[in-house]
Amino acid sequence: MIEPRVPALPRPMAQRKDESTGRRTPHFLCRGVVALLMLAVFELLAGCMSGPAPRAAIAYTGDPIVDGNAELAAAPPKDRVLWDDRIAATALRVGNFDEAKTKLDDAILQVGGIINNTADAAKARSLFHPEETKTFIGEPYERVMDYYYRAILYWRDGQPDNARACYRTGQLIDSDAETHEYQSDYVLLDYLDGLASAKLGEDSSDALARAQALTKRRLPPYNPDANVLVFAEYGQGPRKYAGGEYGEQLRFYTEPSRIHSARLIVDDRRIPLPPYDDLNFQATTRGGRVMDYILGNKAVFKRTTNTVGDVALIGAAAAANNGSRDSDRAAVGLAAIGLISKIASAATTPQADVRTWDNLPQYLSFAALKLSPGEHPVRLEFLTRDGEVASELTRELTINVSPDASTNNVVFLSELTR
């Protein structure tokens, strides 16, 4: 943020005779009153912008789930979903599916509702509170991932219809994009919606057609007999930062992933895991938010009051140097306007909310395959953009396929470790 240059205040003037009383006006008193007024305004604004309560110290253990829960316990309620999200992603990666389910259900309770008439949201829209005052539910790409991850757990629990419900809500959340081209454009959400329908014995052709229309990559046809569902993810997802003169613009930092694809080698078969969806793309193609408009107005107010303050203080300085009685009065008035404008400008907080679900992946992938019941040793390989195997990331795993033909054996694979 660029700090405005504040012009010098009028130099202290010598005492002058007041015509009405015949007494000399004590100018040091004027200065004292100005100082007191400024102090009072600062106190008032400080009260409006009281900072967060001091956070309890956290004794980190090195266990990401334990530490995440400690962070969640110490976090203000407005950040609860943020920590739920982070812990859930970590829990999925370490195979703690019960923990992931608990956290995602808690997050979806907030994310899935319609939030209105809440005090923190109203504050976030006001001039003197930053956007991050509001309860975090994330940007659309973050909310979509709540549902995407929860759907994986529904598949594990043998509830493809609830998984499908998650995909449908995810696609609806993504319909917020400003440009039609980028609305509801997650390939996997439509593709997996159709897979769930196929598993339920219903028509899935429409969902498959929608998914195919969203990608140039040829999507594999559904195999209702597939009993192993592989969900893979790789690369680092988007991060938020604040841009613009006053940090009023929400922007995304995206770093192209070194890993551009993956594959699973099982029973001498190579199962490709291409990048069907890119969260960096999703984050950066949403377009403008209504909140951006509000933050823009806040920035305009901040800039205008700052300019008014500058002009008034310069005018006060000029008037004070004039030497006449009327000029003195004008100088005091302009100084008051200038000071209050500067204070109002300083107190205005147009900063965009940059709280980020910071352990999301960049790419999402999926494959469905049919394997015989029993244990299957598999090798997971991640490939660079050039098609080279990133050998340091290669993993040897075992997939245990249930003898129950109706069971969907879910395998979750992530390049990210926490």
Partner 1 sequence: MNIIHRFFVLSSFTATTAAFFAGCANQGVQNPSGVPVTQMNADEQGFVAGTGVESQDLVTVTDKMARSILGTPAIASATTPPRIVIDPVENATRFPINKDLFSDRIRIMLNSKSAGRVVFLARDRMKTLERERELKQTGQVTSSYDPTPVAFKGADYFLTGKLEGLTTKTSAGTSDYILYSFQLIDARTSEIVWEDSAEIKKQGLEDAAYR
CB of 125 to partner 1, least distance (A): 5
Residue type, 414: S
Which CB atom, from 155 or from 276, has the smaller least distance to partner 1?
Answer: 155
Among residues 264, 252, 174, the alpha carbon closest in space to that of 228 is found at: 264
CA distance 203 to 207: 9
CB of 75 to partner 1, least distance (A): 18
Q: What does the buried/exposed string (b/e) look like for 116-153 if buried means 16 or more CB atoms within 10 Å of the residue's CB?
A: eeeeebebbbebebbbbbbbbbbbbbbbbbbbbbbbbb
Which CB atom, from 25 or from 384, has the smaller least distance to partner 1?
Answer: 25
CA distance 150 to 326: 71
Given the rule CB under 8 A, which residues bind partner 1?
Answer: 18, 20-21, 25, 29-30, 33-34, 37, 41, 108-110, 112-118, 121-122, 124-128, 131, 134, 137, 147, 150-151, 154, 159, 161-166, 168-169, 172, 175-176, 200, 289-291, 293-295, 297-298, 300-301, 305, 328-329, 332-333, 336-337, 340-341, 344
The tokens describing 90, both together, are 């970590």
- Concatenating the DSSP letter of every residue in 42-63 gives HHHHHHHT--PPPPPP----S-
Contacts for 95 with CB less than 8 Å, ≥ 6 apart:
412
CB of 260 to partner 1, least distance (A): 32
Check: CB of residue 193 under 8 Å from CB of residue 207. Answer: yes
CA distance 283 to 186: 12
Which CB atom, from 94 or from 346, has the smaller least distance to partner 1?
Answer: 346
Which CB atom, from 169 or from 362, has the smaller least distance to partner 1?
Answer: 169
Which CB atom, from 118 or from 394, has the smaller least distance to partner 1?
Answer: 118
Check: CB of residue 231 under 8 Å from CB of residue 271. Answer: no
CB of 330 to partner 1, least distance (A): 10
CB of 165 to partner 1, least distance (A): 4
Which CB atom, from 24 or from 270, has the smaller least distance to partner 1?
Answer: 24
CB of 294 to partner 1, least distance (A): 5
Strand 239-243 to strand 374-384: parallel, antiparallel, or no bridges (unpaired)?
unpaired
Helix (H) or strand (E) holding 359: none
Check: CB of residue 220 under 8 Å from CB of residue 208. Answer: no
- Concatenating the DSSP letter of every residue in 159-218 gives -HHHHHHHHHHHHHHGGG-SSGGGTT--HHHHHHHHHHHHHTTS--HHHHHHHHHT-SSP
CB of 413 to partner 1, least distance (A): 23
Which CB atom, from 154 or from 234, has the smaller least distance to partner 1?
Answer: 154
- Concatenating the DSSP letter of every residue in 320-342 gives HTT-SHHHHHHHHHHHHHHHHHH
Cα–chain-centroid distance for residue 229? Answer: 29
CA distance 166 to 160: 10
CB of 306 to partner 1, least distance (A): 12
CB of 114 to partner 1, least distance (A): 4
CB of 332 to partner 1, least distance (A): 5
Which CB atom, from 211 or from 273, has the smaller least distance to partner 1?
Answer: 211
Which CB atom, from 162 or from 384, has the smaller least distance to partner 1?
Answer: 162
Which CB atom, from 171 or from 236, has the smaller least distance to partner 1?
Answer: 171
